[in-house]
Structure 1
Amino acid sequence: MRPEFTLVQLRYFAAVARREHMTAAAAELNVTQSTLSSAIAQLEREFGVPLFERLPRRGLRLTPAGHTLLARSAAFLEEAELISRSVREETEQLTGELVVGMYSPLAPFRAPVLLQHFERLHPHVNLVFLEGDQGSLQQALLDGHCELALMYDLGVGERFSRRLIEQIPPHAIVPADHPIARSRRREISLLELAEEPLILLNLPHTREYYLGLFKQLGVTPRVRHVSLGYETVRSFVALGHGYSLLNHWVGHGMTYAGDHVVPIRLTDPLPPTEASLVRLRGARPTRRSLAFEEVCLALAGRGEASEASPDATRTGA
C-alpha cells in the first residue's frame, strides 16, 4: 500500500514531538493549533496507530510508534531539504540543528574541542550537546531528543549501533603527598592500593566497570566515599581522603579544590573503556550527524580529542 502522508505533515509532527505541546509547536511553526491537530490526526489515520498520548493539563507524550516515526523521519526530512536546494541550485552547505548526546564525564574533554572543529567546518549547523549518564542518553536516543551520542560502551543495549572512537585504559590517581607519588613511580599494580580507602565514581554502569576491575584481580575495595561528579572524586583524592580509578588522564593534576592529584598508570591487564558514537539501530543518519562522526574520528586519529593517557589506543575502526 502506497503511503499518502506529506512532508508538511512530517515536519509538523516533528515539531510537536520536540515541544511535546501542540500550542508551543503551533507558535514555533506560525500555524494554527487546529492545522497541527489535523496534520497529526491524518498521520495517525495513515499509520493506523496513535503517535501521541494526550496527557490532561500536561501536553503530549510520544507513543512507541511515535518514537519510531521521529527517529526515522529526521534523515528523510533532511533529504527533502537537500533535494529542494539542488533544484534551486543553492549551496550544499549543511544547515539546521544537530543535538548530540554526551556522557557527562566525557564532556569537559570532548565537547569544547569537538564544537570548535565542527563549527569551523560547518558554520551553519547549530551543534547542541545534551549531557547525561549512560542510561539517560540511551533514553534520549529512543525518545528522539538526540540523533547520536558520544558515550562509553557500558550497558549499551541491542537496540543501538555504535562506532568505536577510542579505547581508554583505567589509571589510578593518588594525592600529591602519597608515598607512591613522592617516589615518582610512574606505574603500579592496583593491588598495591587495594587496602587503602577508595573514592568511587558512582555513575550507573561506570560504577560496575570500576568495581569489576577489582573483582578481576580477586580483591574487594574499601569504598570510603562515592560521588556522581568526576571533579568531586578528584578533589576528594587531592585532599587525602583516598585514591580513585579513572579513565581520562589529566596530566596537570590540578583540582577544583586547588590541590593536586597524581595520575599513575596500572600494570595490570585490565580492560579499557571504549568511547563510541551510539545511534538507534536501523535509523537512517542525517548528513549533519555523519559530518559530526567524521570530526570525531579525525580528532581521535590525530590524538586531539582528549587528554587521555599516553597508553590510550585510538582507532577509527
Structure 2
Amino acid sequence: MLNRISLRQIEYFVATAESGSIIIASERIHVSSPSISAAIAHIESELQVQLFIRQHAKGLILTNVGEHLMKECQEILARAGNLYALAANYSGSIRGPLKLGCFSAFAPMLYAEIIHGFAHLYKSVQLDVCEGDQEVLLSGLLRNVLDVVLTYDLNIDHDLIHFEPLASLPPYALFSKEHPLAEASAVTMEELAEHPMVLLDMPYSSDYFISLFKQKKLSPNVVKTSKSSEVIRAMVANNIGYSILNVRPKINYSLDGKQLVRVRISGEQRPMQIGLATAKNAVLNTVAQAFISRCRAFISDQYISGMDAPHFYDPHIRVKDS
C-alpha cells in the first residue's frame, strides 16, 4: 500500500523549492529543518524521483522533474486554499460551547495554533479551557464537566474513556550544560540512577518516570520535586540535578535564561502518547468534532504544534540550541 503525501509535506517542498534552502524555508514557515528534510525525503521515496541537486555555491537546485512537480504542487496548494476559503463561508454553522481540557505541561506549546487558532477560526464558539494534571482532567471528563481533553495516555480507564493517540513522545534526559553527562550522545538508565534527579511530581506522570527505572530494577536518586515543568527545567538548568521529560519545547533554555541539553536515553522505553480523551457516554456535538479534527491536523509523529516533533529527533545527536 502506498503511503500518502500530505498537504503539509507538499507545503514544505514548495517552500524549499522557492527559497532554494532548507534553512531559509524553515525560517519562513516556522518549521524545523529536520521536519522539512524528512518531508522532502518522503516525497522522493514515494514518487521514486530526486527533487534537488545540492550545489555549494547555489544551494539546492531543482532537478527537471523537481521543476515540474513544484508547479503541480503549487497548484495543489492553491486549490486546497480555495477549499478552506469555501469552508470559511460556512464556519458560522460551528457555534456553541466547548469545554476543553489540556494537560498543563504542554498547554503553552499547543495553545497558539490549536486552541487560539480554533477560537479565532470559529468566532461563534464559546471556548472554556481548563488546564490541569491528569487527575483533574480525567475527573472532569467523567463528571461531564469537560467535553474533550488533550492529554497523555496515563491511567486511562478504557471502559469509561475513549483515548485517540495522535503522537508518541519518547522520554529523554534533560541536563544543564555543565552536567557531566551533557556531552554524551546517549545515556543509560543505569548511568542516570547514579546522579541526583529532580522529578516532575504530577499525578500518574511521576509514576511513569519512576517506572522507567523500576523496569531495570533501579531506583532514581530523587533530590527535588515540583509539580511545574518550568520549575523542573529551572532546577535542571541550575545543575541541581537532571530530569526525565517527554515534551520537547522548541527552545532549550529555562526561564532564567540558562541553557539546557536534551540527551537520548538508550534502550527501549515506553513513550507517552499525546492524544484526545472523551467520555464514552458523551455525545460529541459539532463543535467538539471540529476541535478534534483540528487536533488531528496539528498533532502527529511528523509534526506537533509548538514542539520539536519526536519522529525526526535524531537518536544519535545531542540537542542543543546554537
TM-score, L = length of structure 2: 0.65
1:160 aligns with 2:130: no
How far, CA to CA, are the matches of 2:289 and 2:196 in structure 1? Answer: 44
Q: Write out per-residue CA displacement over residues 268-314 of structure 1, whole angstroms, 9 at most, x where no aligned residue.
A: 2000001121111132111101111100011114614241453479x
Identify which range, 121-130 or 133-142, moves more after superposition.
Answer: 121-130
Q: Write out per-residue CA displacement over residues 99-158 of structure 1, whole angstroms, 9 at most, x where no aligned residue.
A: 111111121121222124313542321322101111111111122221111111111123
Identify which range, 251-260 or 149-158, moves more after superposition.
Answer: 251-260
- SS of 1:108's equivalent in the other structure is helix
Identify which range, 109-118 or 157-166, moves more after superposition.
Answer: 109-118
1:178 aligns with 2:174: no
- SS of 1:208's equivalent in the other structure is helix
- SS of 1:270's equivalent in the other structure is coil
Aligned AA for 1:283? Answer: A
Q: Which runs of 5 or more structure 2 residues have no equivalent in the other structure?
A: 1-89, 314-322
Give how far 1:237 is off.
0.6
- SS of 2:264's equivalent in the other structure is strand
Aligned to 1:50: none
Q: Write out per-residue CA displacement over residues 239-280 of structure 1, whole angstroms, 9 at most, x where no aligned residue.
A: 010000000113421111221211111122000001121111
Are the equivalent residues in 1 in contact too, given 2:195–2:221 (CA < 8 A)? yes
Are the equivalent residues in 2 in contact too, given 1:214–1:221 (CA < 8 A)? yes
Aligned to 1:95: 95
How far, CA to CA, are the matches of 2:91 and 2:228 in structure 1? Answer: 44
- SS of 2:215's equivalent in the other structure is helix
Are the equivalent residues in 2 in contact too, given 1:148–1:277 (CA < 8 A)? yes
TM-score, L = length of structure 1: 0.66
- SS of 2:114's equivalent in the other structure is helix
- SS of 1:295's equivalent in the other structure is helix
Q: How many positions carry a matched residue from both structures? A: 222
Aligned to 1:291: 290
- SS of 1:180's equivalent in the other structure is coil
Are the equivalent residues in 2 in contact too, given 1:248–1:309 (CA < 8 A)? no
Aligned AA for 2:163? Answer: R
How far, CA to CA, are the matches of 1:97 and 1:292 in structure 2? Answer: 12
How far, CA to CA, are the matches of 2:166 and 2:198 in structure 1? Answer: 28
Aligned to 1:144: 144
Aligned to 1:169: 170
Aligned to 2:254: 255
How far, CA to CA, are the matches of 1:154 and 1:121 in structure 2? Answer: 31
| Change in CA separation of 1:160 and 1:312 when aligned onto 2, cut-off 3 Å | farther
How far, CA to CA, are the matches of 1:237 and 1:214 in structure 2? Answer: 19
Are the equivalent residues in 2 in contact too, given 1:147–1:279 (CA < 8 A)? yes
Are the equivalent residues in 2 in contact too, given 1:168–1:308 (CA < 8 A)? no
Q: Structure 1 segments of 4 or more deviating over 6 A?
A: none
Percent of residue pairs identical: 28
Aligned AA for 1:296? Answer: C
How far, CA to CA, are the matches of 1:277 and 1:121 in structure 2? Answer: 20
